[in-house]
Amino acid sequence: MDNNHITHLSPLAKDFDDFFETALCGFVITDGEGKIVRVNTRTAQWLNSTPDQFQGKRFSDLLAVGGKIYFETHLWPLLRMQGYFDEVAVELANSGHGKMPVYINGYERKGDNNQPLFMRFTLFKASDRRLYEENLQIAKQLAEDKLNIEQKNSKLREQFIAVLGHDLRNPLGGIMSAAQLLARTDINQREERLVNIIQSGSKRMYEMINNIMDFAHGRLGGGIPVNPVIVDLEALLNQISDELKVAWPDRHIESDFEIGETVECDPSRISQLISNLLANAITHGSTETPIVFKALVKDNFWEVSISNNGSIPEKAMAHIFHPFHREGAQSSQNGLGLGLYIASEIAKSHNGTLTVTSDYQKTCFTFHAPIANQSLPD
């Protein structure tokens, strides 16, 4: 289009013409038969030519041989049938600088007699986009490989923990048995203190090993197994409370039970869950106020809650039931940080939940489980 013609165009037409010629993408307009009427400067530059050299040619003449065949056999019939096609990857003809990959869109405009008036084609340079897509695919593959490696390493670690915990039980059992035998013999006061240290230390180690085994079993075996039986819940809870009162005689535990009937549960696992929560309250709660130990049995659920004065930091609340999470400044004295995680897994194995609420005055852990006709997992 010559400059004299442009000067006679309306402002809107001038703006369109400028956009058409200076756009960063290619534009091609053909007549109803597919012969090129106009090509913008960008398309001509990509083909190392000028716009007027394409007048009267077919659009497919701009494409490399493979693209030309595909256009005539697939895209041209598709354009005539449905009136458009979107983002088809082809290559422009070799202009002396190699074949340039592009994405093309096609659109057909029909007249009142349903005959084609013209076609418009838009071309987008594809080299940068293809490089981006290739890099994205490589990054995705690397991320998947890294995840697979991490999952394999994690499984190996858990298997190692399980084997280690299992193999430690036998020698530790021998130490505990020897300590019990020594405690029954005639020993002096100093030796008695040493035996007590061995007994308390080995018992703590035994609890840690059990926690490790439960953790590994939960991760590798799909949860902590339970063996449900009919249980006198009130008697079980009183027994747990009495044991902890002996261990911590200076701490006051207030029991408030509304039970009145038996429940179906695994008594050893529930003992493990409740004693863990009570010990946690004793360790982290205020020494000046009692620990409130409540239990309730209704028609369709049973619930146990343990409250103490004291708060859990908000940051810690999100991870409180995660494995190896240890709360507070005394964490170095509180084992491996598996207690609350295992307690929550025991709750899940009873089709129940273990939740916690905490504010500046009080922290409360609540175990809630269904009763009656909901079967427990094997």
162-200 as b/e: b if 16+ CB within 10 A: beebeebeeebeeebeebeeeeeeeeeeeeeeebeebbe
Strand order in the sheet with 116-125: 36-39, 26-31, 116-125, 101-110, 84-91
Tell whether pTM > 0.75.
no
Alpha-helix runs per DSSP H in the chain: 3-7, 11-22, 41-46, 65-70, 76-82, 127-183, 189-221, 233-247, 267-284, 314-317, 339-349
Does residue 223 come out as left (phi exceeding 0), alpha (psi in the -120 to 50 range) or beta? left
Which tokens in the block code for residue 64?
Answer: 């490399």
By DSSP bridging, strand 291-297 and strand 253-258 are parallel
Relative to beta strand 263-265, strand 301-309 is unpaired
Q: What phi and psi, each to the nearest 5 degrees, are found at residue 103?
A: -110, 135
Ramachandran sector of residue 229 (left: φ over 0; alpha: ψ -120 to 50; beta: rest): beta
* Domains by residue range for the chain, with CATH: 3-125 (3.30.450.20), 132-221 (1.10.287.130), 229-370 (3.30.565.10)
Of residues 127, 82, 80, 79, the one with CA closest to residue 105: 79
- Which pLDDT tens digits describe the chain residue by residue (378 residues)? 455 555 556 777 777 888 888 888 999 999 999 999 999 999 999 999 999 999 999 999 999 999 999 999 999 999 999 999 998 999 998 777 778 889 999 999 998 888 899 999 999 988 777 667 777 888 888 888 888 887 777 676 666 666 666 667 667 777 888 888 888 888 888 888 888 888 777 776 777 777 677 776 666 556 778 889 999 999 999 988 888 887 788 889 999 999 988 899 999 889 889 988 998 898 888 888 999 999 999 888 999 999 999 888 888 888 888 876 655 544 444 455 778 888 898 999 899 999 999 988 899 999 999 985 544 555
| DSSP bridge partners of 293 | 255, 306
